A and B are shown apart, each in its own frame.
Chain A
Amino acid sequence: MIVKELDQVVVRFSGDSGDGMQLAGNLFSTISATVGNDISTFPDYPADIRAPQGSLTGVSGFQVHIGAGKVFTPGDQCDVLVAMNAAALKTQYKFAKSTACIIIDTDCFQKSDLEKAAFKTDNPIEEMGIKNDVIAAPISQMVKDCLADSGMDNKSMLKCRNMFALGLVCWLFNRDLTIAENFLREKFAKKPAIAEANIKVIHAGYDYGHNTHSSVAHTYRIESKTTVPGKYMDITGNKATAYGFIAAAEKAGLKLYLGSYPITPATDVLHELSKHKSLGVVTVQCEDEIAGCASAVGASYAGALAVTSTSGPGICLKSEAMNLAVIMELPLVVLDVQRGGPATGLPTKSEQTDLLQVLFGRNGESPMPVLAATSPTDCFEAAFEASKIALEHMTPVVLLTDAFVANGSAAWKLPKLADYPTINPPYVPAELKGSWTPYQRNEDGVRYWAIPGQEGFTHILGGLEKDNATGAISTNPENHHLMTQLRQQKIDKIQVPDVVVEGDKDDAELLIVGFGGTYGHLHAAMDEMRAEGKKVALAHFKFINPLPANTAEVMKKYPKVVVAEQNMGQFAGYLRMKVDGFVPYQYNEVKGQPFVVNELVTAFTEILNK
């Protein structure tokens, strides 16, 4: 048996939504990350609670890209495809490379399974014209045999099938099973019998591969080349976002308050923050999206770091209370985990289609800072930065992530809070007692924060326009114009870092421009083009409003610019509004799926050759 050294490999686990593919995939990435590989994951699951078993619409997938060095995306296509039933093979084969190894459970390729998956013959491999190596194993039967003495019923035994597949994949990649064992014992701490059954099955899968050499020519080893020493963990974007808020609250010395309403794919942030009562985090699951945001505005007035989280149509419902925070000039972070739209749209899929809404989708002149996280681990940084801006500039801030970065995971070097900047909200100075008015501003144009409970600073805020000098209700035309300008200037004055140009920054013939969660794919496309000898650079934006000071300079520096985004051109249009005479090429795709690096390379090369 040959052990082949690889730089990187992509594995896709797929099966029925009830087959536990997300768990198997997660576990494999954790094992890989633990041995020091870089990882990037992409859970691809259906929106249905439970589509009919074995049906084409019920297939759930989890793709993980592991690399010896840095990996930027979960990969376009996989090297190993696990298909736990006929429907999975049918729908997921398109994600497999021509050289991919395919693992199937032959017990789920019986006549009825093939019918449900709309196969016409009884030989799906031939019918689909599959020429790949196929490990066809009677997984279900072997799992049942393996657990025959466990006293478990048939259904419970079959729930362990995913672990057999995982064991087989672990064998293929020479993975140590100890990590999986520890994980399972912890996950099923209250049900030790289940933990031991899963562990038994994972070993059975591994041994099956080892004993039969599973009709493949070689197994693989992926060494670790991660250079930065330190402690690491595997983290999803949503968890990193939650951690960012916790870190910011601690740094600012404030209580963290989350007002939210469950909505896919943002709900995991609510789940995560709800766990951490021992950090004093307050989470309120409200009656609706409106109340989620409104209650956060109330919490902000009361003196907390207030956050509300949502996705999809939820952001429409929050816009009213977000605007209240604009006029009351209160700190608030609005997390929008973008998903496919419009309306309910594609709840579990990823897009970047909320950009213009969060920038402009409110009545009146309503300037609001907007940040977009660029990767699962960047969600931590972005959540911290969004909180810092909100608190220091007394403004609601929108943090955009998307289903792709929120559900995806990556290896994350544990941060040290001491390395992060302090957060200094503009608390009202005690010496202003008696003379203070609510819209008195500091040198950054930011009004002071007078938290209730302090004598001498009682005041009433509200949704009606206020007189800048007295804080009383005012419909004076000159005052309204002034207040509009002051609210705008306050946002314009926020300092954000310059946008960084990567790649051939001096002599690129094509500048790729993107924002938010597409960073990995755009970077990978640039790398590939540069490897072909082309002169390409990438300017990827995280700070959308205000834009970095060097934006216009960068946009005008290169002969050709392409703005690539998962919408119909929202960021390109916004840049055109902000940069005089800027006319970029556009690459727009709204499929609910991540970009495909190869397709990007083809499209960008065409632009280059024009």
Chain B
Amino acid sequence: MCEFTAKDYKKGQPRWCPGCGDHFFLASLHKAMAEIGVAPWDIAVISGIGCSSRLPHYMNTYGMNTIHGRSAAIATGCKVANPNLTVWQVSGDGDGLAIGGNHFIHANRRNINLNMILLNNRIYGLTKGQYSPTSPRGFVSKSSPYGTVEDPFCPAELCFGARGHFFARAVATDAAGTVEILKEAYKHKGASVCEILQNCVIFNHGTHESVYTKEGRAKNAIYLEHGKPMLFGENKEFGLVQEGFGLKVVKLGENGITEKDILIHDAHCEDNTLQLKLALMQGPDFPIALGVIRDVDAPTYDDGVYAQIEEVSEKKKYHNFEELLMTNDTWEVK
């Protein structure tokens, strides 16, 4: 079925710093696109401004590297005007959640059929090292030499708060995990947010250190799969159970815990309460959740627009400009 290879989506020579997470993500995106199989000329990749927003220049597709923060809004117009295009919208944490926060939440709320990539390195790289809306409290940067005095966003919380229907997470260095969620994002009809945890080697080195290597992920992350028990650890010896209003890490075999006691992941559950709990988990007490956390079907905006056009067109008697004129009260001068 796959008539394209990753090469068909590639263009140019990326100019990111050696070791930047963007390189890893780009390769995974090319690979995912080839596996998805949509022709390069039926794809638009739309970014804002920032290191990661250079990405469209390395795509052999249609696309735009636009202005700071506006890519979700621009992608909205592009998709609604031409729903035949597969639209990938690419932002960093500054572009997408600071200056573009409003567009991010509304694209989710409207449920535009966009694949929204959020490359989160918790730093402003292009402007050379200021804290971002995902930097932790107390974070020391060029613009916060004594540490920040503000709390960060958790992207999943924003997505869920905006009533988003799809949220997935991967680590940039984990090609298989990234390709997997990109394909799932494409399959999901509606706004699909993929948070990619990535390193900035220059200004925020080690920010996702605990999960950046395969070994680290084995210890500190949990890969969620719909319908599968939430087990993790190097030997899958840990699991998640519900306790009160929250989650709890348990060890199999301890206190009589067996696999039957472990929660089964339900990405399709409309109620996002537990999905949000999973997305909010942080080390060292909890594993970081990777994979598709939420994936719920819902009507999309773009489908709604065209369904309405079709429905109204059938009812109304005017279908061109001159027929429109005649729907007004007119009089004749002879």
Interface residues of A (CB under 8 A from B): 30, 33-36, 179, 182-183, 224, 226, 228-235, 243, 246-247, 250, 255, 257, 259, 276-280, 282, 284, 286-288, 290-291, 294-304, 306, 320-321, 323-324, 328, 414-417, 451-464, 472-473
Contact = CB atoms under 8 A, between A and B. Distances in A.
A279 B319 contact: yes
B102 A416 contact: no
Interface stretch (B60-68, B173-181, B246-254): B60-68
A279 B320 contact: yes
A321 B67 CA distance: 8
Interface string B74-95: 1111111110110000000000
A304 B65 contact: no
B328 interface: yes
Contacts of A461: 63-65
B40 interface: yes
Given A30-B329, A34-B331, A230-B332, A302 B85 contact: yes
Interface stretch (B163-171, B192-200, B283-291, B310-318): B310-318
Contact of A226 (B42, B84, B102, B333): B333
A414 B61 contact: no
A458 B103 contact: no
Interface in B81-136: 81-82, 84-85, 102-103, 105-106
A457 B312 CA distance: 35
B308 interface: yes
Contact of B76 (A278, A284, A321, A460): A284
Nearest to A33: B331
Nearest to B49: A463
Nearest to A227: B333
B149 interface: no
A291 B321 contact: no
Contacts of A235: 328
A451 B62 CA distance: 9
Contacts of B308: 277
Given A462-B56, A463-B65, 10 more contacts: A277-B316, A286-B73, A294-B66, A295-B77, A301-B62, A302-B82, A304-B82, A453-B85, A458-B61, A462-B57
Interface of B: 12, 39-42, 44-46, 49, 56-57, 59-67, 70, 73-82, 84-85, 102-103, 105-106, 305, 308-309, 311-313, 315-316, 318-322, 324-325, 328-334
A219 B102 CA distance: 59
A255 B302 CA distance: 15
Given A294-B74, A464-B65, A452 B39 contact: no
Contacts of B311: 277
B330 A455 contact: no
Nearest to A35: B331
A235 B106 CA distance: 35
Contacts of A460: 45, 56-57, 59, 62-65
A300 B309 CA distance: 20
Contacts of A276: 324
10 contacts: A36-B333, A229-B334, A231-B331, A233-B331, A257-B77, A259-B77, A279-B321, A282-B305, A295-B74, A298-B78
B322 A321 contact: no
B82 to A, nearest CB: 4
Given A234-B329, A453-B82, A297 B321 contact: no
B237 to A, nearest CB: 46
A462 B330 CA distance: 47
B319 A458 contact: no
Nearest to A415: B325
A368 B73 CA distance: 22
Contacts of B322: 416-417
Nearest to B313: A278
A324 B331 contact: no
Contacts of A34: 329, 331
Contact of A298 (B41, B74, B309): B74
Contacts of A294: 66-67, 70, 73-74, 77, 103
A247 B331 CA distance: 21
Nearest to A280: B309
Nearest to B62: A452
Contacts of A250: 320-321
Contact of A299 (B78, B321, B324, B332): B78
B130 to A, nearest CB: 20
A323 B320 CA distance: 33
Nearest 6 pairs between A and B by C-beta? A298-B77, A295-B77, A462-B65, A299-B81, A302-B82, A298-B78
A293 B282 CA distance: 39
A295 B41 CA distance: 21
Contact of B106 (A230, A280, A291): A291
B275 to A, nearest CB: 25
Contact of A287 (B44, B61, B81, B102): B102
A549 B20 CA distance: 55
B71 to A, nearest CB: 8
A277 B330 contact: no
B80 A232 contact: no
B78 A455 contact: no
Contacts of B67: 294, 320-321, 323-324, 463
Contacts of A458: 40-41, 60-62
Contacts of A324: 66-67, 70
B59 A233 contact: no
Contacts of A290: 70, 73, 103
Nearest to B59: A460
Contacts of B106: 286-287, 291
B74 to A, nearest CB: 4
Nearest to B311: A277
Contact of B77 (A179, A228, A297, A455): A297
B179 to A, nearest CB: 22
A414 B77 contact: no
